[in-house]
A and B are shown apart, each in its own frame.
Chain A
Amino acid sequence: MKNIIDQIKVVEGSLNSAVPEGRIQDVWDNHRFNMKLVNPANKRKFNVIVVGSGLAGGAAAATMGELGYNVQCFFYQDSARRAHSVAAQGGINAAKNYQNDGDSIFRLFYDTVKGGDYRSREANVYRLAQVSNNIIDQCVAQGVPFAREYGGALDNRSFGGAQVSRTFYARGQTGQQLLLGAYQALSRQAAAGSVKLYPRTEMLDLIVINGQARGIVTRNMVTGEIKSYLADAVVLATGGYGNLYYLSTNAMGCNVTASWRAYKRGAFFANPCYVQIHPTCIPPAGEHQSKLTLMSESLRNDGRIWVPRNPNDTRKANDIPEAERYYYLEEKYPSFGNLVPRDVASRNAKTVVDEGHGVGELKNGVYLDFAESIGRLGAHIIKERYGNLFDMYTSITGEDPYKVPMRIYPAIHYTMGGTWVDYNLQTTIPGLFSIGEANFSDHGANRLGASALMQGLADGYFVIPYTMGNYLAQAKSEKVDTNHPAVREAEAGVNERMKKLLSINGKRSVSSFHRELGRVIWDNVGMARTDAGLRTALKRIPEIRAEFWENVRVPGSADDLNQSLEMAGRVVDFLEFGEVMALDALHRAESCGGHFREESQTEEGEALRDDENFAYTAAWEYAGEGKMPILNKEPLTFEYVKLTQRSYK
């Protein structure tokens, strides 16, 4: 265990990012010209599978359907409109510069690379900034009701500490509205017959034939039928893996299964240790807690964060006099105060709670207090700004934030790591693409606010439709049917796993294991990580996994609607994935973005990068059951952005 890091086999030079040569401003335009096209008459002969119907998957399936490909779109929800993109509140960035405040494509690019703490690929990020403007045009044309000014022009706001107002929004429901735009485009193609939708259908394995991704094995979640679908290419748009932590802001069904199955078939998994923790969520109320609810970050604009200075203070918030309150962010970061970036706010909350200052019955939160703003601006202004959030808080906690401070605590919110992809968004398996949160590509070690929606739609509407054509025009794949041995093998594996899960008949429920795993991950691979903690996680995870396979109880049968079985399949994959994530976090001895290693910090307690040793993407390669994964390094070079150390003092 001691020299686990020395046991990792490292391979350099194995990854080809396929970024074309040239000035970053020209690369995408040149590439679009150089890519091969599929003859319009031939497009309908190509089948493309899209897994996931969120912003990335929905947009990709709709657009490829419009182009004339035969698209099949699979998702586990009962309707494509329910993918978890729907829950994004804040907004979507674009470099429109409508506010004339000095924004530009280059500035959005620069901010995104910097915000990602210099761990992303410059060319991908530049392209993201370029197409951001097309996204807004597209969404408006689809009928997305963005917020507007009285003159009728689109309104923008500044978000997450950005110096320019580049965020477009639709009340607090931007994700929902953008998803409905994509869903409607998808519905139009479904009506036209170019896209076939498969609701309540879960991908359980990837089919690889002659080195190419050729299809998926699925389970119909209503009938239990295991069925394979074949195609010329497969696109994973299956979101992030935040539910590894059990408690997160993800939807209950979000999972890593599709990406993990692809990993075990040869798709490298990049930077799993990069996860984003959102500072303003409602703290858990007890053991029964099943998920956490995010309260928009905008609350920090008017709320003051504090805890009692005395850890043993049992008085109610309003009875604690001003002098005995510890406004820890304002004290430590006089210039940014309560508006420090997400990771800094989160870590400081953890520190004060760990020191015993936590508030609430379980002492697991910090106060976010609006009394001062209400006194200064009046309750009506606060209601105007945050009324819906306050209502939501009241319905969940039973407390009135107009009268007593809110209690907040950080929670897992987004995962920057994901399936490794090249510039074309293709994974290390030819014909397998990964888009949106499922891939690792654009956010580096930390994602800026309002950039997740931008990336999902950029990949889906404006990148994959081009790069898919380029692949299909050259792929030369043989004709296969479902009798192919590779299909049979994959199906047999899925059936066997299902059978095994149902036959263990042990004493513990699936969710009890998920909860236990989540606790280990949260404690050791959460906001602040240490060498010792990560080694503990690496020891504990296999133990939990072993007990799972001996003692889990999955009621019901495989040929029926069986939610316990669905959950069991996902937890199985989390139990394996968590180990690679902990290994990634252990090997990356630097701090960067959302990955904070306590051993690597500045004197002021800021994340301290080690560019000399860690300026690379860590792409993990499956080496076989029970074997340690192989570390493939993609070096990161920065020609256009200057590397600096962050400071918010």
Chain B
Amino acid sequence: MKLTLRVWRQKNSNTQGQLEDHQLDDVSPDSSFLEMIDDLNEKLTNEGKEPIAFDHDCREGICGMCSLVVNGVAHGQDRELIKAVTICQLHMRNFHGGETIVLEPWRAKGFPILKDLIVDRGAFDRIIQAGGFISVGTGSAPDANASPIPKKNADIAMDAAACIGCGACVAACPNASAMLFTSAKMGNLNHLPQGQTERYQRVVNMVTQMDKEGFGACTNMGECEAVCPKEINLDFIAQMNKDLITAALKGIGPTV
């Protein structure tokens, strides 16, 4: 099929970007979205032009590297057609010939653009570094079955831990809030007995870092949950806020 791609081009973080149109004449409906961009890049290379820079790696929806806003929707998914996928798993049969597809990077203050469609998501790493871990050194662990964990809790922890850190939640949020990402890590650790010791310090530190990175606040729009390729639930944000209040009542301040 024939497609027009309207792509964001930007040389680096210090320059202004603009949208640029490209035509593709022979897109296979069986190719993946990123393979379609590969094709375009092959064409640009052969024409002596510079290919479009975009992040991608595993191409099976788990590494969290790919990050495209397609026609205004993070990961381009249309829930009626297809269930919870990253853009690397979306295939071209979900589009129609003659369509114009607009491709943009994640747009958020916390994610500066590096080039074209690539952004810097270092802020997410720094949020985890602020407290998204359990302080246990290698070698000091008790036997794995020493403390039983109710299956239900383990399952909820896993629901939250499924987050791939792609940042679609931030890209979709009108406030560019990183609350779904941040609360998912807490939802993972706080549902396990191992995570209790640092629970309240963790919430204070991670939220403090999240704010420092320039992400906005949550106003319960739910856009994040709607685009999350791992279907992380908004409930985790509520739980995070509850813990944050408890921490305040306990008088716990940030240490980051």
Contact = CB atoms under 8 A, between A and B. Distances in A.
Interface of A: 59, 62-63, 66, 77-82, 84, 86-87, 96, 98, 134, 136-154, 170-171, 173, 176-177, 180, 183-185, 187-188, 190-191, 197, 199, 222, 249, 251-253, 285-286, 288-291, 293-294, 391-392, 395-398, 461-462, 465, 507, 509, 511-512, 553, 555-556, 560-561, 563-564
Contacts of B195: 143
Given A145-B157, A509-B45, 6 more contacts: A77-B63, A87-B60, A288-B38, A289-B31, A396-B32, A461-B139
Most chain B beta-carbon neighbours within 10 Å: one of A150, A555, A556:
A555
Interface of B: 11-12, 28-32, 34-36, 38-39, 42, 44-46, 48-51, 53, 55-65, 82-83, 85, 89-91, 93, 114-115, 118, 120-122, 124-125, 128-130, 132-145, 148-151, 154-155, 157-158, 161-162, 164-165, 188-189, 191-192, 194-195, 256
Main secondary structure on chain B at its contact with chain A? loop
B125 A197 contact: yes
Given A82-B63, A556-B50, A187 B125 contact: yes
In the A-B complex, list the 7 residue pairs whose CB atoms are closest, starting with the nearest.
A152-B148, A141-B141, A184-B133, A285-B30, A145-B157, A137-B141, A145-B158
B129 A188 contact: yes
A395 B134 contact: no
B208 to A, nearest CB: 13
Contact of B50 (A82, A199, A252, A555): A555
Given A86-B58, A288-B35, A190 B129 contact: yes
A288 B62 contact: no
A561 B129 CA distance: 26
A510 to B, nearest CB: 8
Contact of B139 (A80, A134, A222, A507): A134
Contacts of A190: 125, 129
8 contacts: A63-B137, A79-B125, A82-B165, A87-B62, A139-B144, A151-B148, A249-B60, A396-B89
Contacts of B192: 143, 145
A185 B189 CA distance: 13
B156 to A, nearest CB: 9
Nearest to A197: B125
Contacts of A183: 128
Contacts of A84: 57-58, 63
A380 B188 CA distance: 28
Given A137-B143, A147-B154, A509-B42, A290 B59 contact: yes
A199 B122 contact: yes
A188 B135 CA distance: 7
Contact of B151 (A148, A199, A252): A148
Contacts of B115: 222, 560-561
Contacts of B42: 509, 511-512
B142 to A, nearest CB: 7
A177 to B, nearest CB: 6
A564 B28 contact: no
A398 B63 contact: no
Contacts of A293: 59-60
A191 B198 CA distance: 15
A173 B38 contact: no
B179 to A, nearest CB: 19
B72 to A, nearest CB: 21
Contacts of B44: 555
Nearest to A94: B144
B48 A555 contact: yes
Contacts of B82: 395
Nearest to A155: B151
Contacts of A143: 133-134, 157, 188-189, 192, 194-195
Contacts of B11: 560
A199 B60 CA distance: 21
B77 to A, nearest CB: 10
Contacts of B28: 285-286, 288
A78 B121 contact: yes
Given A147-B154, A465-B138, A137 B133 contact: no
Nearest to A556: B50
A191 B130 CA distance: 7
A252 B57 contact: yes
B169 to A, nearest CB: 15
Contacts of B129: 187-188, 190-191
Contact of A146 (B58, B61, B154): B154
A152 B148 CA distance: 4
Contacts of A59: 138
B158 A288 contact: no
A63 to B, nearest CB: 4
A81 B165 contact: yes
Contact of B91 (A96, A398, A512): A398
A138 B135 contact: no
B158 A171 contact: yes
A148 B42 CA distance: 47
A252 B161 contact: no
B35 A184 contact: no
Contact of B12 (A199, A294, A465, A561): A561
Contact of B83 (A62, A171, A290, A391): A391
A77 B158 CA distance: 24
Contact of A78 (B29, B30, B53, B55): B55
Contact of A561 (B61, B118, B161): B118
A234 B130 CA distance: 28
B50 A290 contact: no
Nearest to A171: B158
A461 B53 contact: no
Contact of A560 (B12, B55, B125): B12
B133 A187 contact: yes
Contacts of B56: 252
B164 A154 contact: no
A159 to B, nearest CB: 18
A154 B151 CA distance: 9
B124 A79 contact: yes
A145 B163 CA distance: 13
Contacts of A176: 62, 162, 164
A594 B250 CA distance: 59
B121 to A, nearest CB: 6
